[in-house]
A and B are shown apart, each in its own frame.
Chain A
């Protein structure tokens, strides 16, 4: 359960202050499927990073599963990212020198999980995204859609409760994009809370709920129109 109250985020650029988020209040219940939409520069990524405990609000409160996390020390935020959050990015962010399986094992390595268990869980996560036969391929041997599926396997292998995807189809053709969204939706049906940033109205239209940001504020929040 995500609860934001009066959340702001400012950036200082030179002597100017950029208000990326202004007084955002929002509740996302477990298992929700939320599309974040809005023009470029409206604060979607900033909100996503704060939700993922990768960034901190300037003011306001962020309560995650009943705990205020906005002011936690970095070590505890890292722990939350490791256990509860899965990130998927527009440009995949796979480590080029590691195989698909190696990339999926990465969060488990950081969490100190033993190799035997790591391998088993990576294999399972790759199977869930349909890439069992590509486990030993490097990113440059995979198509864009396949790369994003590896990234989704990596984001979910630690069993998080929230998946945060920043324009996950932005760098893919329509067919691959649809596959990715269907994959994410399947995981949502299995109980994962999903927040997807997208420009694509078709993808946004599939979500249970669309949140539209304009200039750092919530302009609308509701079901697909």
Chain B
């Protein structure tokens, strides 16, 4: 039997029970729509998080104190054995050939005050390298000056939101503010950068790292950010950073190097797991739909008993009867799946309009995967009824009616 003829026969049989087929398709459609919708949201979140992280550039390595067991994640502190990261460490990393900038970072919360107005924000202790390493731009004035990071001067660059909160529309350049009670002079205002995850990068202030360390009363860094020239040099740079810091830390690897890659792949993995879990929840409704197909095909086989007997009398082999019913189930499921894909994408689009902040993305391969999935679901749920049909004794089948 030619595949196209089999398909046409199966389509005819499915179309013969219009309402019943439509309802069965609906069951699969709901399942596929929820899988599509939930995984679209998961995928949207993944892309959103990835873009959040790559906005700082990809040729960047973070060094944190303490050793973590695997890539990424929080370094777990092992008390006593950890030497602190220092500005001298950061300076030493500058000498690696491919390194463009090595920036010591310290931060903490402090109150920024100007006249009557004040605001508690996150204060970053950094160097002149922020625009290069983090890709932050300056809107007014200039960023912190170059110079020996061990000796700060009381200068501050304000995030745009902080500036507005404290100065309103007034000019801030050259004005004095108090940070943690100490006087600082405003030399610049940053371009808006937006949120990073839940951190408002515009509601912050940048001061020289030495000033921040003294402000927060600490003698070590929270992080060193190393920017390098080309992605191809990454492995070499990581090796050099590790060697130099180990040398400086008496041979101990008491720090953690996080590349953008490893961070992203960890995140990717976590979100991937969440997406799959959420997709599996959608899958439950797919199971319900599959049971619907099974039920309906079972009824259909029972009703078509005489027809099955006839087909056998006309020369049909068991395999052809099996294929005939399997294909009916698969067609129902795939049609339902297609319906579900349209509905899922439709709802996802609508969500995007209603809730613009909810990241939603439906990759094309999800659509194909959903269609293949529904086809397979159809085959699986049709298997039992089709086997029953193929196993019928033709003489007894003919007797039915």
Which A residues form the contact surface with B (CB < 8 A)? Answer: 49, 52, 54-55, 74-75, 78-79, 81-83, 87, 89, 91, 93, 95, 97-98, 106-107, 109-112, 114-115, 154, 158
Those of B27-86 within 8 Å (CB) of chain A: none
By a CB distance below 8 angstroms, the chain A residues around B13 are 97
Which B residues form the contact surface with A (CB < 8 A)? Answer: 1-2, 5, 9, 12-13, 15-16, 306-307, 309-318, 320, 394-395, 398, 401
**B316 interface neighbour in A91, A97, A110, Cβ under 8 Å:** A110
In the complex, A97 Cα to B394 Cα: how many Å?
21
In the complex, A55 Cα to B312 Cα: how many Å?
11
By a CB distance below 8 angstroms, the chain A residues around B306 are 93
| Chain A, residue nearest B393 (CB) | A55
**A95 interface neighbour in B1, B307, B316, B395, Cβ under 8 Å:** B307
B401 touches A91 (CB 8 A): yes
A110 touches B313 (CB 8 A): no
By a CB distance below 8 angstroms, the chain B residues around A75 are 317
- Other than the known A83-B315, A109-B1, what 16 A-B pairs have Cβ atoms closer than 8 Å? A49-B395, A54-B312, A54-B394, A55-B394, A75-B317, A78-B312, A78-B315, A79-B315, A81-B312, A93-B309, A93-B313, A95-B310, A97-B12, A109-B5, A109-B9, A115-B5
| Chain B, residue nearest A76 (CB) | B317
| Chain A, residue nearest B17 (CB) | A97
A55 touches B395 (CB 8 A): yes
A82 touches B2 (CB 8 A): no
B316 touches A78 (CB 8 A): yes
In the complex, A95 Cα to B16 Cα: how many Å?
11
**A112 interface neighbour in B2, B12, B15, B307, Cβ under 8 Å:** B2
In the complex, A154 Cα to B5 Cα: how many Å?
17
By a CB distance below 8 angstroms, the chain B residues around A79 are 315
By a CB distance below 8 angstroms, the chain A residues around B313 are 52, 54, 81, 87, 93
By a CB distance below 8 angstroms, the chain B residues around A82 are 314-315
Given contacts A54-B313, A82-B315, contact A110 B320 (CB under 8 A): yes
A-B CB contact pairs (8 Å), 8 listed: A49-B395, A54-B394, A75-B317, A78-B312, A106-B314, A107-B314, A110-B314, A111-B315
In the complex, A218 Cα to B398 Cα: how many Å?
25
Minimal beta-carbon separation of B293 from chain A (angstroms): 20
In the complex, A222 Cα to B311 Cα: how many Å?
34
A110 touches B395 (CB 8 A): no
B315 touches A107 (CB 8 A): yes
By a CB distance below 8 angstroms, the chain A residues around B401 are 91
| Chain A, residue nearest B6 (CB) | A109
In the complex, A74 Cα to B398 Cα: how many Å?
17
A93 touches B315 (CB 8 A): no
By a CB distance below 8 angstroms, the chain B residues around A97 are 12-13, 15-16
**A110 interface neighbour in B307, B315, B318, B394, Cβ under 8 Å:** B315
A54 touches B317 (CB 8 A): no
By a CB distance below 8 angstroms, the chain A residues around B316 are 78, 110
**A87 interface neighbour in B2, B5, B12, B314, Cβ under 8 Å:** B314
4 closest pairs, A vs B, by CB?
A82-B315, A107-B314, A78-B317, A93-B310
By a CB distance below 8 angstroms, the chain B residues around A109 are 1-2, 5, 9
By a CB distance below 8 angstroms, the chain A residues around B15 are 97
| Chain A, residue nearest B2 (CB) | A112
| Chain B, residue nearest A105 (CB) | B5
Most buried by B among A55, A109, A112: A109
Minimal beta-carbon separation of B315 from chain A (angstroms): 3
Minimal beta-carbon separation of A110 from chain B (angstroms): 5
| Chain B, residue nearest A81 (CB) | B315
| Chain B, residue nearest A83 (CB) | B315
In the complex, A49 Cα to B393 Cα: how many Å?
12
By a CB distance below 8 angstroms, the chain B residues around A49 are 395
| Chain A, residue nearest B313 (CB) | A87
In the complex, A106 Cα to B316 Cα: how many Å?
10
In the complex, A158 Cα to B317 Cα: how many Å?
16
Minimal beta-carbon separation of B208 from chain A (angstroms): 84
Minimal beta-carbon separation of B312 from chain A (angstroms): 7
By a CB distance below 8 angstroms, the chain A residues around B2 are 109, 112, 114
| Chain A, residue nearest B397 (CB) | A54
Given contacts A109-B1, A112-B1, contact A93 B398 (CB under 8 A): yes
By a CB distance below 8 angstroms, the chain A residues around B1 are 109-112
**A154 interface neighbour in B12, B314, B394, Cβ under 8 Å:** B314
In the complex, A83 Cα to B320 Cα: how many Å?
16
| Chain A, residue nearest B396 (CB) | A55
**B315 interface neighbour in A55, A91, A158, Cβ under 8 Å:** A158
In the complex, A87 Cα to B13 Cα: how many Å?
23
By a CB distance below 8 angstroms, the chain A residues around B398 are 54, 89, 93
Minimal beta-carbon separation of B386 from chain A (angstroms): 16
Most buried by B among A52, A93, A98: A93
